[in-house]
């Protein structure tokens, strides 16, 4: 009952934002200790969980890409492609696709800021009315593409790592490549849904606006050739990606029982690779004579989202307290919900509830409230549910926060331009959230059930 009380208290404060959300996460850790749910070393140990260590490394790698201009170069390179021609539709597709691709490996916030800046520069250079449906649609869809692109890889959003961390407590390992087998098709479907919403709901004046990618080529020319710092950032990212995927690729050639595979999966895990890659940025010089390196500590600290780390720690602690058999709540929920005659309704109902609530409240609060309880029910051998597939799809539901500026911080970025109205975002965002929720239920869950077999 103490765990339940802490859970309800923290969820309410997360949703209502009585105090800053990360501060509520710190409070949750302290309450779990004071109320005797977990000893201090367990409760505060979630702050140093492998998920947070991995995030710190990923944040530092992303910061290097940002401060050295690699992200901006990628954005202008995509928009300057010759196939765009004078088509405003192809330009919009290229810009949003580039944002989604970059968001798969970089911070969604950074990507949204970069591509919003590119979109505003384009609107100004092309003398397009900033209040036109074309301009407003372009600005609104940048954060949508950022959220959707984050579904392609585990590093695309912190909520993915939360669900992976929860599943790790079930002794179920999800590989980087396995996630991409699931996440990339989901991203493609969601992007297709977004373009349908653009075409038939937001309906920008595509035929009335002529564009050219010359401005992007000019901006790309201003950046010049790739600098040493950019090459170092790109190389570190590529090496990290290679080692994240290697434990999934190597068994295809040497088998799952090979000693090298076991060593990689045991010792060269995601957080270890992320930390080694991040530390490498402090070691590789840009200018040895000036003692200038690819990353300084002040730059690294500025790129770490401490609030996200606090959220992850609090959400993992609350989730494990809620589902733990030792403190009684796991058994409590299992018995209380044992009378459900059709437990398979949990999957669609859970996805719908999370997708709806995440548009009005913190996605971490929503996930923490639903996922642990759902796992308890789905883990029952008689439920007929794959708890791994269900958990991943519930986590996807938290990505479909498109309706309001408060749904996710990146949704608020376009509003700084002063050209976007909430009513426009809400109309298109709710339709897009509905489409993504439907294919998550009908397509994503069966796909996850096939890729992530249960029981293993």
Q: What pLDDT does 8 receive?
A: 85
Q: What mean pLDDT, rounded, does the chain reach?
A: 84
Q: What pLDDT does 325 receive?
A: 61
Q: What backbone phi and psi angles, to 5 degrees, belong to 134? A: -60, -50
Report yes or no: 115 and 403 within 8 Å, Cβ to Cβ: no
**Chain Cα centroid distance, residue 108:** 7
Average pLDDT of span 120-130: 79
Q: Report d(CA 454, CA 456) in Å as an integer.
A: 5
Q: Report d(CA 226, CA 349) in Å as an integer.
A: 49
Q: Report d(CA 454, CA 391) in Å as an integer.
A: 12
Q: What pLDDT does 341 receive?
A: 46
| Nearest C-alpha neighbor of 187 from the set 218, 151, 219, 211 | 151
* Mean pLDDT comparison of 28-32, 121-125, 223-227, highest-scoring range: 28-32
Residue with the larger pLDDT of the pair 86 and 385:
385
Does residue 335 surpass a pLDDT of 70?
no
| Nearest C-alpha neighbor of 203 from the set 152, 290, 107, 136 | 136
Percent of the chain clearing pLDDT 90 (strictly above): 25
Q: Residue 20: pLDDT band by 50, 70, 90 thresholds? A: confident
Q: Residue 155: pLDDT band by 50, 70, 90 thresholds? A: confident
Average pLDDT of span 387-406: 86
What's the pTM?
A: 0.76
Q: Report d(CA 289, CA 292) in Å as an integer.
A: 8
Does residue 401 surpass a pLDDT of 90?
no
Q: Residue 280: pLDDT band by 50, 70, 90 thresholds? A: very high
Does residue 355 surpass a pLDDT of 50?
yes
Q: What pLDDT does 141 receive?
A: 93
Average pLDDT of span 185-196: 95
Report yes or no: 175 and 126 within 8 Å, Cβ to Cβ: no
Q: Residue 332: pLDDT band by 50, 70, 90 thresholds? A: low
Q: What pLDDT does 323 receive?
A: 65
Does residue 369 surpass a pLDDT of 80?
no
Average pLDDT of span 3-19: 82
Per residue in 204-249, pLDDT tens?
Answer: 887 766 666 677 788 788 888 889 999 999 999 889 888 888 887 7
Per residue in 132-154, pLDDT tens?
Answer: 888 899 999 999 999 999 899 98
Report yes or no: 14 and 26 within 8 Å, Cβ to Cβ: no
Per residue in 158-179, pLDDT tens?
Answer: 788 888 888 887 788 888 888 9
Q: Report d(CA 313, CA 318) in Å as an integer.
A: 9
HEC string of the chain? CHHHHHHHHHHHHHHHCCCCHHHHHHHHHHHHHHCCCCCHHHHHHHHHCHHHHHHHHHHHHHHHHHHCCHHHHHHHHHHCCHHHCCEHHHHHHHHHHHHHHHHCCCCHHHHHHHHHHHHHHHHHHCCCCCCCHHHHHHHHHHHHHHHHHCCCCHHHCHHHHHHHHHHHCCCCCCCHHHHHHHHHHHHHHHHHHHHHHHHHHHCCCCCCCECCCHHHHHHHHHHCCCCHHHHHHHHHHHHHHHHHHHHHHCHHHHCCCCHHHHHHHHHCCHHHHHHHHHHHHHHCEEECCCCEECCCHHHHHHHCCHHHHHHHHHHHHHHHHHHCCCCCHHHHHHHHCCCCCCHHHHHHHHHHHHHHHCCCCCHHHHHHHHHHHHHHHHCCCCCCCCHHHHHHHHHHHCCCCCCCCCCCHHHHHHHHHCCCCHHHHHHHHHHHHHHHHHHHHHHHHHHHHHHCCCCC
Q: Residue 406: pLDDT band by 50, 70, 90 thresholds? A: low
Residue with the larger pLDDT of the pair 190 and 86:
190
Q: What pLDDT does 268 receive?
A: 85
Residue with the larger pLDDT of the pair 123 and 400:
400
Q: What backbone phi and psi angles, to 5 degrees, belong to 188? A: -65, -45
Q: What pLDDT does 320 receive?
A: 76
Q: Residue 34: pLDDT band by 50, 70, 90 thresholds? A: very high
Per residue in 44-99, pLDDT tens?
Answer: 998 888 888 988 988 898 888 888 988 788 877 877 777 777 778 888 888 899 89
Average pLDDT of span 20-47: 90
Report yes or no: 190 and 141 within 8 Å, Cβ to Cβ: no
Q: What pLDDT does 169 receive?
A: 75
Per residue in 339-353, pLDDT tens?
Answer: 554 556 778 888 888
Domain range summary for the chain, segments of one domain joined by + = 49-64+227-304
Average pLDDT of span 94-105: 89
**Chain Cα centroid distance, residue 256:** 29
Q: CA 449, 53, 307, 294 torsion: positive or negative?
A: negative
Greatest distance between any 2 Cα atoms in the chain:
72
Q: Residue 310: pLDDT band by 50, 70, 90 thresholds? A: confident
């Amino acid at each position: 009952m103490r765990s339940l009380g802490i859970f309800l208290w923290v969820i309410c404060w997360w949703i209502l934002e009585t105090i800053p959300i990360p501060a509520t996460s710190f409070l949750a850790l302290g309450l779990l200790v004071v109320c005797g749910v977990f000893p201090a070393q367990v409760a505060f140990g979630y702050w140093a969980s492998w998920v947070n260590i991995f995030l710190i490394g990923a944040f530092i790698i992303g910061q290097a890409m940002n401060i050295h201009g690699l992200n901006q170069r990628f954005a202008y390179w995509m928009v300057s492609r010759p196939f765009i021609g004078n088509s405003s539709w192809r330009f919009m597709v290229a810009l949003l696709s580039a944002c989604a691709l970059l968001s798969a490996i970089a911070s969604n916030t950074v990507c949204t800021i970069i591509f919003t800046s590119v979109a505003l520069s384009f609107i100004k250079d092309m003398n397009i009315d900033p209040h036109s449906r074309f301009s407003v649609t372009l600005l609104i869809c940048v954060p949508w593409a950022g959220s959707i692109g984050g579904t392609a890889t585990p590093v695309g959003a912190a909520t993915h790592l939360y669900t992976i961390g929860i599943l790790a407590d079930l002794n179920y390992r999800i590989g980087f490549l396995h996630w991409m087998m699931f996440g990339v098709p989901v991203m493609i479907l969601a992007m297709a849904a977004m373009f349908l919403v653009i075409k038939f709901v937001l309906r920008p004046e595509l035929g009335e606006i002529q564009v050219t990618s010359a401005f992007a080529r000019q901006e790309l020319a201003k950046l010049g050739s790739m600098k040493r710092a950019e090459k170092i950032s790109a190389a570190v990212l590529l090496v990290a990606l290679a080692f994240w995927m290697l434990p999934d690729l190597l068994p295809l050639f040497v088998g799952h029982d090979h000693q090298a595979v076991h060593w990689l999966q045991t010792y060269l895990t995601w957080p270890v690779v992320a930390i080694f890659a991040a530390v490498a940025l402090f070691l590789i010089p840009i200018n040895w004579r000036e003692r200038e390196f690819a990353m300084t500590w002040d730059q690294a600290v500025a790129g770490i989202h401490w609030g996200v780390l606090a959220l992850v720690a609090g959400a993992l602690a609350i989730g494990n307290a809620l589902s733990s058999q030792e403190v009684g709540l796991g058994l409590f929920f299992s018995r209380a919900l044992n009378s459900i005659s059709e437990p398979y309704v949990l999957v669609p109902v859970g996805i719908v509830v999370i997708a709806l609530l995440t548009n009005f409240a913190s996605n971490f609060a929503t996930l923490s409230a639903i996922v642990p309880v759902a796992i308890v029910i789905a883990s029952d051998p008689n439920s007929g549910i794959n708890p791994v597939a269900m958990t991943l799809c519930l986590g996807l539901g938290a990505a479909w926060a498109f309706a309001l500026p408060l749904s996710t911080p990146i949704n608020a970025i376009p509003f700084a331009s002063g050209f976007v109205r909430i009513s426009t975002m809400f109309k298109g965002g709710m339709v897009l959230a509905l489409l993504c929720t439907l294919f998550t239920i009908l397509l994503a869950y069966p796909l996850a059930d096939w890729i992530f077999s249960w029981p293993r």
